[in-house]
Amino acid sequence: MRTFFIACFLLLIAAPSSGQDLVNQIADALEPKVIEWRRDFHQNPELSNREFRTAGIVAAHLRGLGMEVTTEVAFTGVVGILKGAFPGPTVALRADMDALPVKERVDLSFKSEVTSLYRGEEVPVMHACGHDTHVAMLMGAAEALAGMKDQLHGTIKFIFQPAEEGPPPGEEGGAELMVKEGVMEGVDVVFGLHISADTYVGTLEYRPKGMMAAVDDFRIVVKGKQAHGSAPWLGVDPIVTAAQIVNNLQTIVSRSLELTKAAAVVTVGAIHGGVRSNIIPEELEMIGTIRTFDPEMREKLHARFRTIVSNTAASNGATADIQLPYSAHYPVTFNDPALTSQMLETLERTAGKDNVELIDAITGAEDFSFFANEVPGLFLFVGGKPLSVPADVNVSHHTPDFYIDESGMKLGLRTLMNLALDYMDKASTQ
């Protein structure tokens, strides 16, 4: 680590390199490390609130850089503080650490073979959303910026967050709990980014104001009356009831919401019930997600949801217990317009003006939103799609075939560095 600090110092005093040249050179030097870290995390993924190994590696790395480090934040989170030589603002940089209960299908030398417990079941675990790349990029940015400590005007807080995908049922977690525990105290601004399998390597995507949807997950337990499958009239079938509920819920968005105002989504993601082909079960569980952008539409959707579920169950002689939200309830991911405008020049210089794209809002969700509710925030997408893949071929996040071109991480590393450096430099000259 000391060798890298010396190298950074030599680059700092070398002439006639510009600041951007220096960032590029440091990113080039760090890229092999970032890739190595990413592959290790990818091969050893951990579910939400269980990121013990990942957190240990991150904490050791930050301590090795001479930072003040706090661990066990929101269970497994890690926060590192880098104090510059000069006074200035406190900039937070954030990465999420958790993986998903998905079985990897991509044939990689560092493919995940990990299994773990999720909702009481043994499941395969995979970094199917790129959080492994986020951790690796922020570790690289931490190393690079620590090497520039004597040049920094302000403080940088490195936030390694657990449970972005939502804590296990019955637990708190993620950005919301980190905020409750005081992580954002004293912070002036927060930056975050997400790798995108749908965006070509070398590209940055942004949007002022609402960029990603609010999310509320739900759990419904439909209760009927058990009976032999050959005599359904002797029971109340929760499976038939659940089927009707699924269909009826889809009428909320299509018939009850003003879609020209904002988008909304209702998805049932899992149904669990029954044990045999000839037994009508007593009850059934459904879980799913709701996505909205407008607070009033969110409230109306929730009300219609409860009415439809309860009345559909009642029309079949069943009952329905509704938990909404269940374990995840993130607000809209909102990019502060003034901050977005201020940092656009940084993005264009980092990626090249032609490689910075203004995008429409998307119905994905991010609990970075809790950080950005506390202070001005800016959240971005960095490209991870191979240039060789046709534009009409996309591999979705949260799937077994999720794949990232690791060459895209260098732009993410440079972006994190430049956002922090430029914001602090501009604040120090005002």
Q: Could you give the residue ranges of the DSSP H alpha helices within 147-273?
A: 174-180, 238-256
Rounded distance, CA 131 to CA 33, Å? Answer: 16
206 has catalytic annotation: no
Question: Which tokens in the block code for residue 182?
Answer: 């005081």
C-alpha distance from residue 55 to each of 87, 128, 376, 427 (Å): 29, 19, 26, 32
- Mention every residue, 6+ apart, whose C-beta is less than 8 A from residue 421: 19, 23, 145, 148, 152
330 has catalytic annotation: yes
Nearest 5°: the CA angle 14, 19, 25 is 70
Q: Exposed e or buried b for every residue in 91-111, given b needs 16+ CB within 10 A? A: bbbbbbbbbbbbebeeeeeee
Helices vs strands, H then E, count in the chain: 10, 19
Q: Would you say 224 and 414 are in contact if contact means Cβ atoms under 8 Å apart?
A: no
Q: Would you say 109 and 42 are in contact if contact means Cβ atoms under 8 Å apart?
A: no
Catalytic residue among 176, 330, 366, 423: 330
Catalytic residue among 164, 205, 406, 423: 406
Q: Tell me whether residue 277 is exposed, middle or buried, using C-beta atoms within 10 angstroms of its C-beta: 0 to 12, 13 to 18, 19 or more.
A: exposed
Rounded distance, CA 77 to CA 162, Å? Answer: 5
Tell the residue number behind the tokens 């002036």, with chain if given: 188
Catalytic residues: 330, 406
